[in-house]
Every structure is written in structure tokens, then in C-alpha cells.
Structure 1
Amino acid sequence: MRPLGALITLLVLLSAGCTGIPTAGPIEEVPVSTQPRGIDIAPQPPEAGVAPARLVEGFLQAMAAPEGDYAVARQYLTPAAAEEWDPASATVVDATVTGDGEMASLTGQRLGTLDLHGHYTAAAAPFVHQFTLTELDGEWRIAAPPPGLLLTRYIFERYYQRITLYYLARAGGHVVPDPIHLPETRVTPEAIVEALLAGPSPTVAQAVSNALPNGVRLGAAGASLNSDGVVTVDLAGLSERLGDDARRRLGAQLMWSLTAIPRATGLVVTNDGVPFILPGSRADGVLELAGQQGYQILSRAASVDLFAVDDGAPGRLTGDGQVERWRNVDLPVADIAVSLDGEAAIIDDSRTVLAVGAPGSELTRVETGYTNLRSPSFSLGVLWLLADGPSGRPVLLTVDRQRSVELVSLDLPVGLEVLEFAVSPARARIALLVGSDDTGRLGMAQVLPTTPVTVTGWAPLPMVDTSGQSLTDVSAVAWQAETSLAVAATSDGLRSVYSVEIDGSLVEELGPFSGDVAGLTANARLGGGAIATRTAAGTVWRYEARTRWTRLAEDIAAIAYAS
């Protein structure tokens, strides 16, 4: 039994020990991609006389090299199998190769799947694959490979890159993220444009639109990056009658998606080789990333303040652990929310009164008609909160800038109720903790800009940490970045806070701290922002990547970052 990650590490170290760095030779132009995260695996064809288990290990290692349509991996297969094998999709596993004599199998846990466009779906389940082996001319070969790629967790995490594509929100002039995963060596401008042309994932498709019109394709000149960081994208089939607004949206979607290429700072679009003018471009036709910041919600985020409720009074939590109280609040407060544009919402300690307005000014009371008001938060200036309806069942409400209250249309599986929620910064997705009692399951759904707002397509989000343990007993959730959540949960009996990608492709523990999590908030940023928790005893802790967990205050009843 051989853990595959350890075997690959050993092979890399051995190969590194006998490899020199060339100091002379021709300069070659290579495709632009991100820098690799470690020493590259250099898969080799099967050795003469290789045993079945080692043959399978070599085949799995070769999955890291897509060059030549996985030419090296195909050498581990029989000629017939090599011709029929289709590596377009993939299964990601945490598994071990076992076998002796003429048998070999891969046994462990399935973590998720990748479709042919790179969309990841978390799907934790036991995994076993029995390889059918055949002896040809005295050498073992695989006669029945899996239907697609089999990526070990080691290969997936080390040699695949998470790429954030962007589409346009159906409501509002901003981009919405949609992550995919590609082999690092295939992260090129052409690959990104091709992925955009394929369209958004089903998990967000109803909430966004594609600024690349139907029928458009990548042109003969493809997409390339020059030494100045300008990407030229040649498209075929664009209509010259496309209006300025559609052209602006096209430029924003392409430019933000191309930020996956670290050096990309500008964009030129051609239509079958003919310049295609994008509004806002420079005189030389280049659309600069610097001019597209207004399309990115999180580039507008400025507040880093943490707000809190202390002894019934709301305010800003200062560095010395005190609450700088707001004036003109004439009722005891139990919960609080603050928007990025300076609005505040408070809920009184009876949880029947909601008041909204600018902090420090006279707040306007909003009649909701519901009881047990809780979990307030803002998204794009709209307040969301949970309440109890006339039957006592939880309902989800929105309050717009005109103080109009609407009941959100919730499309959930029968018998499930919302226990907690977190709306994404771009208001296209919502993380919903649902259940039929106090124990819930976390899942993702889409937010549709209907009247009233509709939440639909809820699907559970399986979360498996780096030790192979599934997260359970989720009690709180907040958006830490545009594609990741902060989640309070249990793994192998231990409570902690985790950072979780919205497709479940990465789950990282942020470190334990003292006390049970009773509240969780995050300062969402593009690269991930600060996270704050409140324990049942009222102790507030803040997590930042540099300092980890810092104790901030005591006896706090509620906390909130601006959202």
C-alpha cells in the first residue's frame, strides 16, 4: 500500500538531485501562465518490467501532464484503450493504490468531479476503482482505464489552478465570479476566453448573463499576451451593430476574467482581425484594467471597522476593546448590520423592532409584521434578515432603500427551513444553512433579481478538510472573499472555523480558539479579509492571515463587518 503523494514527492526529490540548471542555450518564448507552485512532475513512460501497482501509480502521476492530449498517460494503456480513453472530465480522489501480483486498485474517498469546462462539484463518497490489466509482450498495461482523469488530491491541489471567470449580473452593472479549475500549463488567455464562451456553471447561470453574444467564437488569431501586459483577443462573429453598453459589458467581462493571467493589465478586441472598439479604451485601442474597477463590487469596499453591540448599545469596536457608541439610539439593541455605503440596521432586544438609517443619526423604524427578527446583513445596499412568520416557521425578508419589506420566495426541498444565511457580495449566490431542527446542512443557491427576490437551486455543499474529514454541525457562515466562505463547523469532533471555497474544492482550517462560536462575520475582500467570531460568553476574536486569532473584547452581544 503506497500513499501516492508521498511516492510522487520522493520521485521529485530523486529527479531534482540529478538535474542541473542550464546556463547556456537559445532563448525560447513560452506560453504565459502563472508561476508553478513547486517543482514540476516530469512523468515518464512505463519502465520495462514494471509491476501492476507501480504501473497504476505511474499512470496516475502522468495525469499531471496534459501535454499532447495526455500522451505520456496513454502509454500506460493498451493501444485500444489509449485510443478510446477520453480525459475531458475528471474525478478528484483522496486514495491509495493497492495491489500485488496481477491486480491493482485505487481505494479511498471521492472528493469531487470536474466537468469538461473545469467546473468543480464537491461530491464526497467512498471510492474504489479496480484496474483491469493486460500483459502485452511481457509488459503490463491498463486495458480498462477510468472514464476520465483520476486526479489525486496531491495532483489537483499542486498542479491545477483555480481561475475566476466573470459574467455580468442580471441586475446591476457589476461582474459576478464563477470559478473553474485548469491544469497550470493550460492557463493561457485562449483557455480563459474559450471557457467564457462555454458559459457559466449551472450553479449561477440563472443569476448572470454572458456578455459574449451567442454564436461568437474565438477567431483565427486566438488570444495572446504581449510584453506590455496587453491581451489581444480575436473573436469571430461579433456584430458591428453591438451598442456601447453591450461593448462596455463585453470589455469588463473579458478584462476581469483575464486577471487570472498575473501580467494582464489591458485588453484589445478584434473581430476577425479587424479592431473592435470598446468604450473607454485609450487612443491606441487598449482597454485598461484600472478603468474597470467600477464593475468589481469588492474594489469598492473600504470599511475595515468591526461593529458591535455592548450592553444593548451599538457602535464601532475600537482597538482597546471598547465600543464607541452611536448617538440617537433610544432602544436596547440585540443585533446589528452595517452596509458598505454607510447605512445601519438594528434589531431591538425583543426582536420585534427593526430600525434603519445612518449611524449616529435618527433611525427610521420599519414595520415588518414579523417576529423574532434576527441575522441582519446587507448586500448591495439591500437589508436581508430572518424572521418568524405567522405559523412560527422561519422566513427570509428583504428591506430596500425605500424601506419596503418583501418576503423572499424560497425554493427549498420539502421540510427544510432556513437556519442561517449569507448573501454573496455580488448578490448572485446565497449560502443557506437549512434543516428541520437545530442541526443544519450548508448549501449554495442562486439569487434571482425577480419581484420579489427568488432564491432557487439550493444544493448541499459537501466539505472535506485536508485530513479527509467531513465538516459537520455547521452553525454560522459569512463571505470572506468573492468565492470563499468562513464557516464554523466540526471536524472529527473538534469545533473550529474554516475557509471554504464555494464549490467545495478547498477547505482550510483557520485554527481553533477558546469558546463555542455564537456569531461569525467577515470583511469580504478580493484576496480574503478579516474574520471575527463571538463566543457564547461574549468574547470577540479576530482572524487575520498575519496574526491569526487575536482576542479583541469581552461581553459583546453581536458583531458585524460592513457588507
Structure 2
Amino acid sequence: MRRWGGVSGRRPALAGALCAVLFAVGAAGCGIPENSEVRVVGSGPAAEAGASSFRREEPPTRTASGTDPRLFVDNFLAAAAGEPERAHARVRLFIAPENQSRLHEKPGNEIAINVVRVTKRPVITEDRNGLFSVRLPVQQVGQLRANGVLGPPVATEPEYGFSLRNGGGEGAEGGGLYVTDPPNVLLLSTDALQRYYQTRNVYFWNSNQTRLVADQRYLPLAVPSERLVSEVVKWLIGGPSEWLSQGVSRLPERTNLINNAIETDERWEVALDLPGDDKRKLEKVATQLAWSLPELNDGLQLTTRNQSRVRIDDLKKHRLANPLYPLTEGPQPFTVYDGAIHPLSFPGQVSGAVPVGSAANRGVVSATVRRADEQLLAAVVATVPGGRQRLKVGAGADPVPALHDGAKTFGAIGRPVWLRSLESGQPYGLVVADGQLHRFDDRARLVPVPPLGITGKVTAVAASLDGHRIALIVGGTLYLAALNLDGGMVSLGPAREVRTSLTDLSAVDWAAENALVVAAGTADRSAVYEVSIDGTLQTELVPDVGARVTHLAAYPTNLVYALPSALIMYEANGVAYRYPSTDKIRGDQVLEVTPPPAGGRPGSPTAPFFLF
């Protein structure tokens, strides 16, 4: 019986399985790194249930590089990959016996691996005695823990130095190279992380148990497939990543897995010690597992110590009946043209009617409109006399007939975003106004929401499909934060920096559950990238926009309403573009436009967005 259909999470890519090649960009100092693991890609199919690249792979051994010092360094930076309890033993094999005591071993549940991005080609020099000296410039990206969480970095070193000696010729006892003065920490390159681990999601309920929120983990490809279910259950029991804990709820305290999950001919069986023995809680856990194990399409049975039981005979049907997101229709593209919202016409995409009434569709600078049950939520940034801007917000049938004016005007307001909470009676959104983050409601009431733990000018905000994770650009740097929407309030958890090699970021949106699309660079040179939410992977989508990107909108790829390729639109220097074609959005692609008077010049499409 085939059980593992699968969703590949190994490389989070906007268009799913893309053809990628390494690309070194020579534009230092303008937001595009001189030497980083940027990949150039084209469009391709989106990842969806039923396709998997999950495989077993161990990192190379010490002798696999022979006497090639550069290959040896690459392999040394991969040695810690794999099952965490063996990480020290694998790395110790690369170290000369007389120096192995320098690597301090910790208990299995305390093992932490320092994930680093190699920022420049390692400098390797050889002396007259045949010894090699290595200088390894790095960026500290994060600390990978035994539970698969990549947390913030603890180490601060911008460079590591060590030496290599030859243990003998090829085929000799102890032959090959050894590290003689190793770093006293476990190191893992971002390239090795992508090669020897699978990126996975585990899902936690929000505080009112109405929405599942993705939490990214790394599973070593060396872990046997029959242990996967048990590993995922243990992750759920262990709780969410620290940065996400503000926006989600944990399983009841003292929940434990009784033995390992068992595979029978018909289903996987999981036995839990669940305090309270509440069947409703057990049903909630079953739905968490159904989405956290998308490979599983047959059955699942959960039992407790007191014999409460939840049985799902068809997990695929269960996921369809309990979707992650309330998406029932595809995205519709819109733009601002001559101060009004207009639909766009692209081949293969559905166009919709103007989503706001004519009285409200004037003086528009930017807008966001989303579906919410049987109505639309609209947020519009409009000009007011004196060159200032005001946020206008409304809710209602399609089109939204009227908008409420905000009480305050600002010098500049960014693109507003709606939070996709299931609490339809409490719609909230976020917007950046004059460098500060604000919460707004459907009456255009604005309340400042300062990001916790960081200071600086906020320039952009974007919200994930689950409505409980946001991305921020503050002072040109990318951050993540979790949101809690309890009790009619919006509270923000501590912000976590996403360590990329990009600088001077200007725009951001969500590209997938665990990926962002960002713009980086100056007015002279700007580019659009896909970036994983932990910064480990950077994929260059548009290598040279030619001007600073000031506006960016994406339809995130997802497992509920999947599309064959990424949908991205952006604006630079007053000109709107769309990806993957990278073509300018032309005036003749704008619908419902009244022709300009004789001698008049048509406007240019700006501030594009998707309605979904």
C-alpha cells in the first residue's frame, strides 16, 4: 500500500520545483550582495499534495574529499548534518585525534548547530610544510536545535579560522585531511542545510482554536520514513518556535507520546497521554496531524491512555473538509490607474469588476481588498488637499458601496494589509503611516502598534495567509513577528530578524507559507528575491529592476487553492510590472477605463494588488 504521497518542503520556492543555478552578483554596497548563495530561477509548477522529493541522504565522510582542501572545507561544514544525537561524533571524525577534546559535547536534547552563510570564498593558504591555513568569512544565520527549530543565532563571529594537516596519502591508514585547531562549536553551512534536511511544517492552533498556523522545522533526510509520524507528534508536544508562541496555543501540559506511532495495513496509530482526556481536544490534535503530515493520505487513529479515540479513515478528505485557509476563488489582479482602482486583464487569469463604489474610487494612491465570507473588506490610501494622505476603510457587498474616512492624515501611507482572521465580526488590518506601524479596523480607526524589541523607521508590512504571522521591514532590515488577535485586540510578539545577505530592503509580501518575496537595493540597482522566512535560502527572481521597488504584491502559493506558478506584481519608479514575465503592465491591460480626451495622455498603471 502506498502511503507517502507527500509535499516537498525541501526548498521553499515561489513556483515550486524550479530550475536553479548559483549566481554571483557583483554589485556590492547597493543591497545586492557581492557573493552570496543567491539563485536565479524561472517559473515552474507550484508544490502541491502528491509530489515529494523526500529522500535519505547522509553527509560525506572525512575521506570523501581526498586531499582537496577546498572540498574538505565544504564537507566539514556539512558534517554536523543528520540526526542530532550523532552530530558531535560525525564532526569529531574530521578533527585530528589530538585536537578532538576542543569540541565540547552536549546532551542530545541540548545539541545546537550554528548555521552560517559563507559570504566569500574561503581563503586557503599552504605553507612549506604542507599545512593549510583556512579563513572562513561567514554570516551567522541561526542556531539549529534538536527539535528541528532554527532559532536566532547565538554566535557572533564574522569569521572562523582553522588549520588542516594531511593524515597520509590516499589509501593510507588515517589518510586524507584533518582539522587541527577546530572551532569549539558545530558549524553547518546554509548549502548543507538545504541539501541534507527537509523543510517541514507543523501546525498549531491559534488561541481560539479557529485557525492553524504553520511553524517551520528541519528534518534530517537521514531519518527513516517510518519515524516521521513520531517525530512530528513530538514536535507538536514540544510546542511552537519561540518567536511564534505569541500567536498560537500549545497542546495541554504534560501531553506525551506513548511509545512510537505504529503503521498498520490501514492506518497510522498514535497513542497519547492527553491530560483531561477530552475528545474534542483529541479531534483538534488529529486535524493538526492531518495537515502536518500531508504525505499521509490513508488513515489515522489517535487514542488516549483512557481509551478515548478519534479515527480518520481518509486524511485527504479530512483536509478538504478542514481547509487551512478560507480560499474558494482564485486571485484577481487590480491596479491603480489615474487615481482609481481598475481590474487588469492577463492571459490565463480571471479579471473581476471594480471592488469599490464609484464615489469611493477617487484620488486612490494604493489599495487592498480581500474576500471575507459573503462580503469584501476594502482599505484605500487616498490623497487629500495639501498633498497629504488618508486611509479609508469599508466593508460590504461587492462592490463596497462606501468607505469610512480616517480621522488623521499623514505625509505618506504604505500599502495596507488585512489580517485574515476567521473572526469576521472583528476585521483588522495593518498599515505603515509616516514610518510607524498602525492597526486599523473597518471604521478606519488607527492605533499605533510598535514592533517589540526593535526601533527604527518601519517602511513595509505584510501578513501571512493564516493572519497570525507578519513580515516587517524596519530600517531596511527584514523581521518576523507573531500576532495575537484575542479579545478584539491586536498584540505583537517580539520581532525576530531574518538574517539575509541583502541590505536596504524596500518592499515585502508573503510568497508561500514559509517564504517571502522582497525587494532590495538602491535607486540605481534593485532586485526582487524570494527569501525563506529564516533567511537560509535566497532566490533571485528579477535580477535588475532598474529602480527602487516601492510597492510589491503577491498571491502566496498554498495547498488549498493552488496555482501553477507564482503571481507577483510590483512597482518601481512609477511603473508597474508583473512576474514571472517581468513585463511592464501596459495601459491596454487596464479594464473599465474611459478614453482620455483628445490630446490627453493616458496614465500609467501603479500600485497593483490581488483580490483573494
TM-score of the two chains, using structure 1 as the length reference: 0.76
Contact 1:410/1:456, CA 8 A, preserved across alignment: no
Runs of at least 5 residues in structure 2 that lack an aligned partner in the other structure: 1-20, 23-50, 560-564, 588-603
Aligned partners of 2:449, 2:275: CA distance in 1, in Å? 38
| Change in 2 beyond 3 A, CA 1:498/1:479 | same
Higher relative contact order (CA 8 A, sep 6+): 2
Match of 2:93 in 1: 75
1:396 to 426, 435, 438: 438
| Change in 2 beyond 3 A, CA 1:43/1:461 | closer
Runs of at least 5 residues in structure 1 that lack an aligned partner in the other structure: 7-32, 464-469
Deviation at 1:176, TM superposition (A): 0.5
Aligned partners of 1:492, 1:368: CA distance in 2, in Å? 32
Corresponding residue SS for 1:253: helix
Aligned partners of 2:582, 2:323: CA distance in 1, in Å? 29
Match of 1:311 in 2: 338
Contact 1:334/1:346, CA 8 A, preserved across alignment: yes
Match of 2:255 in 1: 216
Match of 1:18 in 2: none
**2:579 maps to 1:543:** yes
Deviation at 1:311, TM superposition (A): 1.5
2:431 to 386, 398, 403: 386
Name the amino acid aligned to 2:261. A
Q: How many residues align?
A: 500
Contact 1:165/1:177, CA 8 A, preserved across alignment: yes
Contact 2:255/2:275, CA 8 A, preserved across alignment: no
**2:608 maps to 1:552:** no
Contact 1:301/1:525, CA 8 A, preserved across alignment: no
* RMSD (Å), alpha carbons: 3.9
**2:124 maps to 1:98:** yes
Name the amino acid aligned to 1:416. G
| Change in 2 beyond 3 A, CA 1:306/1:89 | same
Aligned partners of 1:541, 1:476: CA distance in 2, in Å? 14
Corresponding residue SS for 1:343: strand
Q: Deviations over 1:155-204 (max 9, x none)?
A: 22211111111111114511101101121122622222222222111110
Percent of aligned pairs sharing the same letter: 23
| Change in 2 beyond 3 A, CA 1:60/1:409 | closer
2:201 to 156, 159, 164: 164
Deviation at 1:424, TM superposition (A): 1.9
Aligned 1:327-338 pairs, distance under 5 A: 328-331=357-360, 332=362, 333-338=364-369
Contact 2:60/2:75, CA 8 A, preserved across alignment: yes
Aligned 1:195-206 pairs, distance under 5 A: 195-206=235-246
Deviation at 1:441, TM superposition (A): 2.2
Q: Deviations over 1:304-343 (max 9, x none)?
A: 2112222222232123799954573124122221113333
Aligned partners of 1:49, 1:311: CA distance in 2, in Å? 65
Deviation at 1:507, TM superposition (A): 1.3
Match of 2:509 in 1: 478
Contact 1:266/1:289, CA 8 A, preserved across alignment: no
2:392 to 338, 346, 354: 354
Match of 1:108 in 2: 137
| Change in 2 beyond 3 A, CA 1:310/1:63 | same
Match of 2:327 in 1: 300
Aligned partners of 2:471, 2:390: CA distance in 1, in Å? 25
Aligned 1:151-300 pairs, distance under 5 A: 151-171=188-208, 173-186=210-223, 188-210=228-250, 212-220=251-259, 222-225=260-263, 230-235=267-272, 237-239=273-275, 241-244=277-280, 246-259=281-294, 262-271=295-304, 276-278=308-310, 281-282=311-312, 286=313, 288-293=315-320, 295-298=322-325, 300=327
| Change in 2 beyond 3 A, CA 1:497/1:393 | closer
Match of 1:531 in 2: 568
Match of 2:600 in 1: none
Match of 1:43 in 2: 60
| Change in 2 beyond 3 A, CA 1:74/1:441 | closer
Aligned partners of 1:304, 1:483: CA distance in 2, in Å? 20
Aligned partners of 1:99, 1:383: CA distance in 2, in Å? 58
**2:481 maps to 1:449:** no
Greater displacement, 311-320 / 42-51: 42-51
Corresponding residue SS for 2:578: strand
Aligned partners of 1:319, 1:51: CA distance in 2, in Å? 52
Aligned partners of 2:550, 2:115: CA distance in 1, in Å? 34
Corresponding residue SS for 2:318: helix
Q: Deviations over 1:414-468 (max 9, x none)?
A: 7523222112221222211223xxxx322112212245312231232221xxxxx
Name the amino acid aligned to 1:501. S
Contact 2:279/2:308, CA 8 A, preserved across alignment: no
| Change in 2 beyond 3 A, CA 1:107/1:59 | closer
Aligned partners of 1:374, 1:138: CA distance in 2, in Å? 62
1:368 to 398, 406, 409: 406
Q: Deviations over 1:34-82 (max 9, x none)?
A: 6457x95673464999798887666445444549825554434439938
Name the amino acid aligned to 1:504. G
Aligned partners of 1:353, 1:495: CA distance in 2, in Å? 28
| Change in 2 beyond 3 A, CA 1:557/1:48 | closer
Name the amino acid aligned to 2:60. P
Match of 1:419 in 2: 459
| Change in 2 beyond 3 A, CA 1:319/1:85 | same
Contact 2:339/2:365, CA 8 A, preserved across alignment: yes
Contact 2:511/2:556, CA 8 A, preserved across alignment: yes
Deviation at 1:209, TM superposition (A): 0.7
Match of 1:344 in 2: 378
Contact 2:356/2:378, CA 8 A, preserved across alignment: no
| Change in 2 beyond 3 A, CA 1:61/1:478 | closer
Contact 1:489/1:496, CA 8 A, preserved across alignment: yes
Name the amino acid aligned to 1:375. R
Aligned partners of 1:384, 1:202: CA distance in 2, in Å? 24
| Change in 2 beyond 3 A, CA 1:129/1:315 | same
Greater displacement, 501-510 / 326-335: 326-335
| Change in 2 beyond 3 A, CA 1:514/1:276 | same
Corresponding residue SS for 1:431: strand
Match of 2:47 in 1: none
Aligned partners of 1:447, 1:49: CA distance in 2, in Å? 51
Contact 2:382/2:391, CA 8 A, preserved across alignment: yes
Corresponding residue SS for 1:356: strand
Q: Identify, as 1 or 2, the structure richer in strand.
A: 1
